[in-house]
Amino acid sequence: MMSSVKTIAVASLNPVKAEAVLHGFRRMFPEDEFQVQTVSVPSGVSDQPMTDEATLEGAATRAENAKAALPEADFWVGVEGGCDHLDAELVAFAWVRVLGRVQAGQARTALFQLPPAVAALVESGMELGDADDRIFGERNSKQANGAVGLLTGDVETRATFYEQAVVLALIPFRNPELYSID
């Protein structure tokens, strides 16, 4: 039996985020069909969140704002990249927040250490993508392979990096009986 196409509102116009979200949903629910609708909404945090808490807040706010902007969708997803200090090093990661009509889930990516030259630019107030472009001589890398792709030689890309967190954020949707909503 063919199911109807479900709409996922992704709270970003960045094609990398849309791709990661779509692939994550398809991996978790291969029997369903999905389409992505992107929407530009505010995160409520700085362009470069500098704490784990601010990054999670940005993802959650984006998801809520996407829901307000596109209430007819079936799911609303916020993806927010951020940085924080771990010991003396600056690390990068992202949070993903998924809202459904009755369920919600969230997960964080793994984190990785930024090179000192990139870290210095970010700590001075530059957004990570702009710092990467400057250090690596790239242009608009945040809509391509991102810092993780540049640093791993594309063994891991920004899309694959986010995709795992999307999958993990969907655990409550795959197992609703274990994550009851009161």
How many other C-beta atoms can be found within 10 angstroms of the C-beta atom of residue 18?
19
Buried b (16+ CB within 10 A) or exposed e, 141-175: bbebbbbbbbbeeeebbbbbbbbbbbbbbbebbee
Judged on CB neighbours under 10 Å (0-12, 13-18, 19+), 102 is exposed
pLDDT tens sequence for the chain (182 residues):
456 899 999 999 999 999 999 999 999 999 999 999 999 999 999 999 999 999 999 999 999 999 999 999 999 999 999 999 999 999 999 999 999 999 999 999 999 999 999 999 999 999 999 999 999 999 988 888 899 999 999 999 999 999 999 999 999 999 999 997 66
Q: Give the pairing of strands 5-10 and 75-86.
A: parallel
Asked if 78 and 62 count as a contact pair (C-beta separation under 8 A), the reply is yes
This prediction has a pTM of 0.94
- Would you tell me how many other CB atoms lie within 10 Å of the CB of residue 46? 12
**Secondary-structure breakdown of the chain: helix, strand, coil percentages, each rounded to the nearest 5:** 45, 25, 35
β partners of residue 49: none
As a dihedral over the C-alpha atoms of residue 147, residue 52, residue 163, residue 67, rounded to 10 degrees, the angle is -120
